Amino acid sequence: MEILKFSKSHLDFQERLKTFMDREVVPNIETWEKEKKVPKSVWKKMGENKFLCPSLPAEYGGIGGDFLHSVIVIKELARTNHNGLAAFIHSDIVVPYIESYGSVDLKQKYLPLCVSGDMITAVAMTEPDAGSDLAAMTTTAVEKGDHVVINGAKTFISNGVNCDLAVLAAKDPKEKNPHKAVSLYLVESKTPRFKKGEPLEKMGWKSQDTAELFFNDCMIPKQNRLGKKGAGFKMLMAKLQQERLVCVVSAVFFCENMLEWTIGYLKEKKRGKKLAIHSQAARFALVEMATQAKMARVFMEKLVSEHMKKKDVIIETSMGKYYTTDLVKRTSLRCLELIGDYGSLEECPIARTFRDTRVMSIFAGTNEIMKEIIARFTLS
């Protein structure tokens, strides 16, 4: 029933990445979770091995791959059962803004550094009082001559501490139409009056350096604007399909990983005189979860296939995003219930997955927003 076809080149890429993860990432995860950040040196190694921005062409240092390479990266990152090394946010969510909307000079300046791991990126949209409703943002960008002055704050920014370059969404305060007021700008972390907060204390994603960003009369060159002034909202909407598809892919792989681990555990765990896997209640629960995960996997692969053909699958991706991110939460809870007392210990990997997957139904647009999008397109 597999829809996606992986070439030998894809499989070789996956094998190299798997080896890299086992050697450079997995042994260090517990340390990173305590330190609340993944060292930049690991990002650099990812870049040296061509695991960052694989879809970028050779002229920018990429391997000229396709979205299947991104699917492989998401899969192998999910296999490590941690979210600190959020390479897919950098490669598949942030960098595409630069590739699609940046000037020739901006592409030549920044894209090779994004591929090499010398420059980690973040997208700065969310604000303390503006999450899914991007039109409500209050961060301002006032263009003065050859420069732009930025004031405001962003929060819940993934890669916020490590980022060297932020794709910032800000509004022209003089424009009354909120959808025509937003523009996107590239802001380097070394820019004066651009400050980063400490990593936020979160329930999950412990080693992901999520932070607040502050701009106080921060001045950047006008040429750092992506595309035309006032086109930012359309740009954000155009890129949300891939961002939400990344969520779908990640959620499906986390479901599969949890099921694999739980089945293995129940095959060895005794309950009374028999193995836990022989309990009818456990078997039925596992079959139900496996069925739901398989159906989600087929739908995910179909979405990826359609996306790679550049088809408009906004409705279907919204469906996939809300369904799979709800599913991964239900699966983690059900697995913990089957595992029993051991599931309450930090050493149980499903305990981390349970915490980390809580937020998946919130970012990239809440699942309530997904349902509203679907309703607008299908019920109006």
Active-site residues, by number, are: 243
Instruction: Count Cβ atoms below 10 Å from residue 186 Cβ, excluding itself.
Output: 23
At 42, list the tokens: 């690991």
- DSSP at 130: B
Helix, strand, coil proportions of the chain in percent (round to 5)? 55, 15, 30
Residue 202's identity, in one-letter code, is K
Helix (H/G/I), strand (E/B), else coil: 344: helix
Nearest one of 153, 7, 27, 20 to 87, comparing CA atoms? 20
Sign of CA dihedral 309, 310, 312, 314: positive
Got the DSSP string for 161-209? TT-SEEEEEEE-TT--SHHHHEEEEEEETTSTTEEE-PPP--SS-TTS-
Instruction: Say which residues have a Cβ less than 8 Å from residue 149's Cβ, sequence separation at least 6.
Output: 141, 142, 217, 218, 219
Q: How far, in Å, CA of 63 to CA of 71, rounded?
A: 15
Q: How far, in Å, CA of 211 to CA of 306, rounded?
A: 34
At 174, list the tokens: 């003089």
Between the CA of residue 138 and those of 135, 173, 215, 278, 362, what are the distances in Å?
Answer: 9, 8, 12, 57, 21
At 239, list the tokens: 């890129």
| Longest Cα–Cα distance in the chain | 79
Helix (H/G/I), strand (E/B), else coil: 15: helix
Q: How far, in Å, CA of 360 to CA of 166, rounded?
A: 22
Strands 211-221 and 147-157: antiparallel
150 close to 220: Cβ distance less than 8 angstroms: yes
